[in-house]
Amino acid sequence: MKRHRHLDLIGWLHRIGLLPQRLTRRTASEDLLKALYEAHSEGSPAPTSLPNLGLSQGATEELLTELRGAGYLCPNSLELTPEGKRRAIELTRAHRLYELYLAEHSGYSPEDWHRLAHTKEHELTEEEHERIAKLLGNPLFDPHGDPIPTSEGIRPDVPLALSLEELAPHTWYFVLHIEDDEPVSYQRLSALGLTRDSIFALEELTPTSCTIRYEGETFTFPTSMLLALTLRQASEKEVTETHADQVQRLTRLPLGTETKVLALSPACRGAMRRRLMDLGFVPGSSISVDMHSPLGNPSAYIVRGAAIALREDQARYILIQPPTL
């Protein structure tokens, strides 16, 4: 679905003259190359049918001809040549590394990571991949939990995930991966603050809806949206160490009440996380609400004796101990 949207976009940009033909064709052909690679990258036979990328038969045949001319596909088949596999791995590695780079070193929102990484994956050289990987500490997974292959195509082991039928109410779960292929589910789950490494309690589960408790908040959404999450059961130690069963978001702290910071949300990444920690929002810090602005946003908080103003979308990342009222 993501590739379909990208192919539509680059086709539109070309039609209005903002992209040259060679660039749109190269991007589209490399998207097709990645799709063919992913279709049999787990050791299955080469695909016998084309992935559905929303292209006409004629357009697809032109891209296949281009891939074979570049030496990426075997003649008269959909099997990738060694060079084709190398390029597909390179594109996948570039995309996932750049998504993680954006998550850790930019102010872009999660909804923008994929779009920007899709552009960059076709531009970055292998040397640039390695520089980014070194900067990030040679990571194994991107911010969504997708494995980042090495330049040789080796991927880290991915733990077995629970099926929807295996989930049970009144159980804590650990998020291994959040799928961003389906934008509606991804944007809604991200808006709740769910991300890779989140821990939540499944309170209720029916065929049509589910209710979870996460960071002291209760959320209800369609059960089908759980399919966008790759989950395993959280251990008692993980629940205890992350205070998942007792935290509350700072936005819920009443005026004039003092408590302690327990943690920062796993959804708080990169520059925002570093800024909040530099301001003193670290575990153990005493915190209270000093005042709210006339419109209720931002609010001023007293942390470590200093008054600091935060917007609501910043304060929600700070997890506190529920105060005794």
Q: Dump the DSSP string for 228-257.
A: GEEEEEPPHHHHHHTTTTT-EEGGGPPBT-
φ/ψ bin of 221: left (φ > 0), alpha (ψ from -120 to 50), beta (otherwise): beta
Pick from 281, 283, 271, 284: nearest CA to 308 = 281
Pick left, alpha or beta for residue 177 (phi over 0 → left; psi -120 to 50 → alpha; otherwise beta). beta
Q: Nearest 10 degrees: CA dihedral of 188, 190, 193, 198?
A: 120
Assess whether 6 and 131 both reside in one domain: yes
CA end-to-end span of the chain? 49
For residue 42, give the CATH number of its domain. 1.10.10.10
Can you read off the two tokens belonging to residue 67? 């891939």
Q: Which amino acid is at 124?
A: L
Q: Does residue 79 sit in the same domain as residue 195?
A: no
Which of 223, 241, 259 finishes a domain?
Answer: 241
- Is 24 a domain residue? yes
Same domain for 118 and 25: yes
Q: Is 32 helix (H, G, I), strand (E, B) or coil?
A: helix
Phi–psi pair at 230, nearest 5 degrees: -95, 120
CA 225/CA 222 separation, integer angstroms: 6
List, as own/partner pairs, every contact residues 218-222 make where C-beta atoms lie below 8 angstroms and the sequence separation is at least 24, other chains included.
219/192, 221/188, 221/189, 221/192
On whether residue 224 sits in a domain, the answer given is: yes
What is the SS3 string spanning 169-222? CCEEEEEEEECCCCHHHHHHHHHCCCCCCCEEEEEEECCCEEEEEECCEEEEEE
- Domain membership flag for residue 144: no
pLDDT at 169: 97
Per-residue pLDDT of the chain (325 residues; tens, 9 = 90+): 444 445 444 444 444 444 444 446 778 888 889 888 887 765 566 666 777 666 778 888 888 888 999 999 998 888 899 999 999 999 999 999 999 999 998 878 888 888 899 889 998 888 998 999 999 999 999 999 899 998 888 888 877 889 999 999 999 999 999 988 778 899 999 999 999 999 999 999 999 999 999 999 999 999 999 999 999 999 999 999 999 999 999 999 998 899 999 999 999 998 899 999 999 999 999 999 999 888 778 999 999 889 999 999 999 999 999 987 6
Q: Say whether both 124 and 11 belong to one domain.
A: yes
Give the count of domains, the chain: 3
Query: Could you tell me how many helices (H) and strands (E) the chain has, helices first?
Result: 10, 11
The answer to the question of residue 130 being in a domain is yes
19 and 127 together in one domain: yes
Q: Is 149 part of any domain?
A: no
| DSSP code, position 166 | G
* Helix or strand run (H / E) with residue 20: none
CA 69 centroid distance within chain: 35
Let me know if 89 is exposed, middle or buried by CB neighbors in 10 A (0-12, 13-18, 19+).
buried
User: 299 has which bridge partners?
Assistant: 292, 310
pLDDT recorded at residue 215: 97
CATH code where residue 168 lies: 2.30.30.90
pLDDT on residue 282: 95
**Residues 193, 172: one domain?**
yes
Residue 178 belongs to some domain of the structure? yes
Tell me whether residue 45 is in a domain: yes
Find the domain containing 316 and state its range: 248-320
Does 39 lie in the same domain as 74?
yes
183 and 263 inside one domain: no
The answer to the question of residue 151 being in a domain is: no
**Which of 187, 214, 241 lies at the terminal end of a domain, its last residue?**
241
- Asked if residue 129 and residue 181 are part of one domain, the reply reads no
**The last residue of a domain, from among 241, 268, 303:** 241
Q: Can you give the pTM of this predicted structure?
A: 0.79
Cα 238 from Cα 43, distance rounded (Å): 34
Report the candidate in 208, 213, 226 with the shortest Cα–Cα distance to residue 170.
213
299 exposed, middle or buried (CB, 10 Å; 0-12, 13-18, 19+)?
Answer: buried
Centre a 10 Å sphere on the Cβ of residue 36 and count the other Cβ atoms it contains: 24
Q: Clarify whether residues 283 and 184 are in a common domain.
A: no
pLDDT of residue 142: 93
Instruction: Tokens for 233, please give them.
Output: 């059961």
Shared domain for 118 and 27, answered yes or no, is yes
Q: Are 29 and 10 in contact (CB under 8 A)?
A: no
Residues 220 and 284 in one domain: no
